[in-house]
Amino acid sequence: MSVERIRLETLRHKVMTAEQAASFIQNGMVVGSSGFTKAGDSKVVLPAFAERAKKEDIKITLMTGASLGHDTDGKLAEAGALSKRMPFQVDRTLRNKINAGEVLFIDQHLSESAELLHNENLPPVDIAIIEVAYIDRDGSIVPTTSVGNSVTFAGLAKQVILEINTAVPEEVYGIHDIYQAENYPHRNVIPIVAPWNKIGRKTIPLDPAKVIGIVFTDITDSPADIAAPDQKTSSIARHILQFFENEVKLGHLTDRLLPIQAGIGKVANAVLMGFKDSNFYDLTMFSEVLQDSTFDLIDSGKLSFASASSITVSEDCYHRVFDNLQRYRDKFVLRPQNISNTPGLIRRLGVIAINTAIEFDIYGNVNSTHISGTKIMNGIGGSGDFARNAYLSIFVTQAASKDNAISHVLPMVSHVDHTEHDVDILVTDIGLADLRGLAPRERAQQIIDNCVHPDYREELQSYFDRACIRGGHTPHLLEEAFSWHLRLGQTGSMKK
């Protein structure tokens, strides 16, 4: 514990244990917590609350930036501490509770949660729990590895609990660009025209009178799970890089490309790593999450600047960045997620968006969230913010999985997160379908020819051909549209 991190001395008497802080939370409260894809989440107060909820019948609505680390969502769900959760999660235990109807989940575009709070379209936040590097002399706070929705939570919550994380160096001061748009009807322009523009302040404003507890911790973020590229992800990455190279040849793009957004995971990492040995240069990112690959590209001199809402990296990369902040601090910025993901900026900057699908269909509709139309995996996250407004919207998935018992290219997706209007390019390990300027029937043939696993090509072609005979702008056989999903449920395989 180092009380010097509470630079506003009048707040020093608020230091307490995590258990004491967690005791402020009452049944039925709405709690807004920092944390975005594991980064900068509550390390001790939410876990202490989960412990408390094991013994007490107490439930809250929990809002965050995005997912939490350290199994915190799982511990809360296991303890029955959650009545409602939004806007995103990735936890196995929580997911099971959601799918069982025991926890209500609201799956939101990540740019929108803060808007909904400001507009009073969601119930008000009772308590905010925010991880900070330190409290400044004016009571404003310096966030850690993510900004997420913390600016909104700090501004709107009636009471605030701060977790000072001493594992995060105080030198993070300045890596955040804290800006909030005005409330309606007096909202102005958000004056960002390039990923590197910084338009705000370095700390999050906070009324010290709202601080009810300060807790010290030195637990670092849960590290990202970094899996090496496998054959499939390498193929997908290769298809995308070839596509970019061709777009440069055609004069559509320069070899600086345009700002890149990459979803989380193996494919995104594989694509970004592919740039290392390419002719592309002076690349930029305008994304949600910065992963290891971002910093590798910075180190290799390929990437000039990256904008996002969080840093979610492996333990190695974490130390590389935060032990050498001076080397990286002019190369990236962390923003509130209603800025990093805001539709107007994504369109203004002309972002190239690369996101992962669970499945897509012959017309290019994408399911990012649901297994067989019912069970949620994680959530839509920021994929909709980016895909809708991108200069190019690319979705990737493996063509087939589980010994090819599951095809990820289907007659009709069982749940739609992104409509055909918002999908330009589809990529599997089999190949890439360029859907720009194509009508639905043309899209279908492109996708069948280029993306589907060979084991399923004939049946998919048959579905499409028979649907075309029946007619329609978007030919379908409604009685057969979900037959692949149903067969999987009955036999364990989509194969006939």
For the bound state, the minimum distance from the C-beta of residue 95 to a second copy, rounded and expressed in Å, comes to: 8
Instruction: Check if the beta carbon of residue 165 is closer than 8 Å to that of residue 218.
Output: yes
CA dihedral for 36, 343, 262, 432, sign (positive or negative) = positive
Known binding residues for CoA are 263-267, 358, 378, 382, 402
Placement of tokens 């412990």 in the chain? 51
DSSP string, 302-348: -EEEEEESEE---HHHHHHHHTSHHHHTTTEEE-BHHHHT-HHHHHH
- CB nearer to a second copy: pick between 50 and 412: 412
Chain centroid to CA 232: how far?
22
Helix (H), strand (E) at residue 127: strand 127-135
User: Closest Cα partner for 263 from 243, 291, 297?
Assistant: 291
CA dihedral for 90, 388, 32, 42, sign (positive or negative) = positive
For the bound state, the minimum distance from the C-beta of residue 413 to a second copy, rounded and expressed in Å, comes to: 9
CA dihedral for 70, 312, 85, 395, sign (positive or negative) = negative
**56 a catalytic residue:** no
DSSP string, 186-221: S-------STT---SBSSB---GGGEEEEEEE-PPP
For the bound state, the minimum distance from the C-beta of residue 300 to a second copy, rounded and expressed in Å, comes to: 22
Instruction: Give CA angle at 17 (210, 65), nearest 5°.
Output: 55
- CB nearer to a second copy: pick between 57 and 120: 120
Known binding residues are 263-267, 358, 378, 382, 402
Residue of 288, 315, 459, 480 marked catalytic: 288
For the bound state, the minimum distance from the C-beta of residue 289 to a second copy, rounded and expressed in Å, comes to: 20
- CB nearer to a second copy: pick between 168 and 366: 366
Distance CA 323, CA 485 (A): 49
Placement of tokens 């913010």 in the chain? 385
For the bound state, the minimum distance from the C-beta of residue 489 to a second copy, rounded and expressed in Å, comes to: 8
Q: Give the CB-side neighbour count of residue 78, counting CA atoms within 13 A.
A: 13
- CB nearer to a second copy: pick between 233 and 365: 365
For the bound state, the minimum distance from the C-beta of residue 483 to a second copy, rounded and expressed in Å, comes to: 9
DSSP β-ladder status, 332-334 and 359-361: unpaired
- CB nearer to a second copy: pick between 268 and 425: 425
- CB nearer to a second copy: pick between 251 and 326: 251
| Dmax (CA) of the chain | 76
- CB nearer to a second copy: pick between 55 and 191: 191
Residue 224 has which token pair? 């990202």
For the bound state, the minimum distance from the C-beta of residue 335 to a second copy, rounded and expressed in Å, comes to: 16
* Catalytic residue numbers, as ranges: 288
